[in-house]
Structure 1
Amino acid sequence: MTTPAGSSADVRRALVVTAHPDDVDFGAAGTVASWTAAGISVSYCICTSGEAGACDGVPREEVPRLREEEQRAAAAAVGVTDVRFLRHQDGRVTPDLRLRRDITEVIREVRPDRVVTHSPEINWAHVAVSHPDHRAVGEAAFAAVYPDARNEFAHPELLDAGLRPWTVRELWMSESPEERINHTVDITDQFDAKLAALAAHRSQTSHLDDLRGMIRRHLERTAERYGRAGRLAEAFHVVNTA
């Protein structure tokens, strides 16, 4: 499957922008592991702390701290040490100017060649991935990539703080409708790293009887659907945003 994006050889830094802790690990942890193994520096920007998520037996006031700790551990499992939390309110995320500015700030700080985020579209074939927070973050992240981060006149307070404009060259979107998918990443060799990242989210995955089998079957189906039968793959809609 072809993609309009440049090769990984041209990429030095990537930024993953998601709504909740664990989103990146379900959608792209294998891909991230392949990038860090290739020497690409990857940063995470998590827009909420997952405080609206179910955490059986955990006092509600402890949930944000726990889920942030789990996300840091999951990131470490795939070679990521830079994890940032914007702490917007879980379950009430909107693609407003505040969120756009916050993501723009991180983009200008990290200066990534590639940004990974949620699709802003509804995936009608798999509505479970189309959480309103996901779509809101996808829309805000796209606006931050184009035009906000590259426009010196957008969010002038960032320029006043010394954060110069930055142009992101590639936008990778997970959870996109099937007809949008134009790129897959073979993560067969990164499967164990992805599982370790998911297992780090104990509050969200420890109750699953067959996490390994469930994830493997999903990745096998994805690989077969997009021409990589017999392998494991993650799928994206990739757009050239240079």
Structure 2
Amino acid sequence: MCMHLTAVVAHPDDADIFCGGTLAKHAARGDDVTVLYMTRGEYGGFDTTEEEIATVREEEAIAAAETLGAEATFLDFEDGRITYSLENRLELVDALRELRPDVVLTHFRDDMHPDHRTTSRLVTDAYYMCSLPLLETDADPWEPENVYYFGKPTSSFEPETYIDVTDYQSTKEDAVLEHESQVEWLEEHGGIDAEFDGLVEGMRAEARVLGRTRGVTFAEGFVPLHKSADDYLG
């Protein structure tokens, strides 16, 4: 049975780095996969304008999503300036109702980046409001089955659901490399995002560590919102 996954991420490279293998796996088996980008990542660059960076990063995000077998769509939040408000929560409600995903993937609540933390909270609360029949937005009510959170090794994130992505690790890495401007940015920006030093190698090592806990070569880890349905993602 075909299902629909939507990854809601703060920045254009987040989905590929943190759940790209899972997205590619579902796309390969015929599921509908969408990446919803909150921002175009316009703070992620050197010696140029926000508009120029946003244009490059949007193009890279579209190419990366295509590599995974996913559709790309964008909201218009500002990089580094995503705030929690009722208005922004309702924008997420309408976006999820429009996309109608069975499963939503997003950032874990404990994360160094403020955009990641705020996105996590907005998505979680929008998920709860999506099905309310008296809450009117442009799209009709919809109820996703579950939300799964991904996280950084530097946070308190401890996975409970593991997805074997052994056959899709190379696809994930190809998608990450589509973000050519960001591979350079993250590696040179290592004073803050130290876990991104040697981006692809570090990402591969993390997937290998998670895989060992499951007896597979590579894995990605998630925390489900509803524990009773934590096998739905697999």
TM-score (structure 1 length as normaliser): 0.82
Shift in Å at residue 198 of structure 1? Answer: 0.3
- Look up the SS of the partner of 1:87 in the other structure: coil
Alpha carbons of structure 1 residues 218 and 102: separation in structure 2 relative to 1, 3 Å: same
> Distance in 2 between the 1:59 and 1:96 partners?
27
Question: Could you give the per-residue CA deviations for residues 157-204 of structure 1, whole angstroms, max 9, x where no partner exists?
Answer: x1xx3x211111111100176564210111111011001110000001
- Look up the SS of the partner of 1:24 in the other structure: helix
Instruction: Tell me whether 1:68 sits opposite 2:58 in the alignment.
Output: yes
Aligned match of 1:168:
144
| 1:41-120 aligned within 5 A | 41-53=32-44, 55-56=45-46, 58-81=48-71, 83-120=72-109
Instruction: Tell me whether 1:205 sits opposite 2:205 in the alignment.
Output: no
Shift in Å at residue 230 of structure 1? Answer: 5.1
Gaps of 5+ in 2: 188-196, 230-234
Shift in Å at residue 131 of structure 1? Answer: 0.7
> Distance in 2 between the 1:47 and 1:68 partners?
11
Letter in 1 for 2:42: E
Shift in Å at residue 145 of structure 1? Answer: 0.6
Which one of the candidate residues 205, 208, 215 is aligned to 1:220?
208
> Distance in 2 between the 1:79 and 1:57 partners?
33
The range that moved more, 208-217 or 197-206, is 208-217
Shift in Å at residue 107 of structure 1? Answer: 1.0
Give the share of equivalent positions with the same residue, in percent: 31
> Distance in 1 between the 2:13 and 2:144 partners?
24
Q: Following superposition, which runs of at least 4 residues in structure 1 exceed 6 angstroms of deviation? A: none
Aligned match of 1:37:
28
> Distance in 2 between the 1:180 and 1:221 partners?
13
> Distance in 2 between the 1:57 and 1:218 partners?
32
Aligned match of 1:125:
none
> Distance in 1 between the 2:215 and 2:81 partners?
39
> Distance in 1 between the 2:49 and 2:81 partners?
21
Gaps of 5+ in 1: 1-8, 123-128
Higher relative contact order (CA 8 A, sep 6+): 1
Pairwise CA RMSD: 2.1
The answer as to whether partners of 1:130 and 1:175 remain within 8 angstroms in 2 is no
> Distance in 1 between the 2:103 and 2:200 partners?
29
> Distance in 1 between the 2:200 and 2:13 partners?
15
TM-score (structure 2 length as normaliser): 0.85
Which one of the candidate residues 184, 190, 198 is aligned to 2:162?
184
> Distance in 1 between the 2:16 and 2:215 partners?
22
> Distance in 2 between the 1:57 and 1:199 partners?
21
Shift in Å at residue 52 of structure 1? Answer: 1.0
> Distance in 1 between the 2:157 and 2:57 partners?
33
The answer as to whether partners of 2:108 and 2:157 remain within 8 angstroms in 1 is no
Letter in 2 for 1:131: H
- Tell me the number of residue pairs that the alignment of Structure 1 and Structure 2 aligns: 216
Shift in Å at residue 210 of structure 1? Answer: 4.8
Shift in Å at residue 94 of structure 1? Answer: 1.4
Question: Could you give the per-residue CA deviations for residues 65-88 of structure 1, whole angstroms, max 9, x where no partner exists?
Answer: 11111100000001012x111121
The answer as to whether partners of 2:151 and 2:157 remain within 8 angstroms in 1 is no
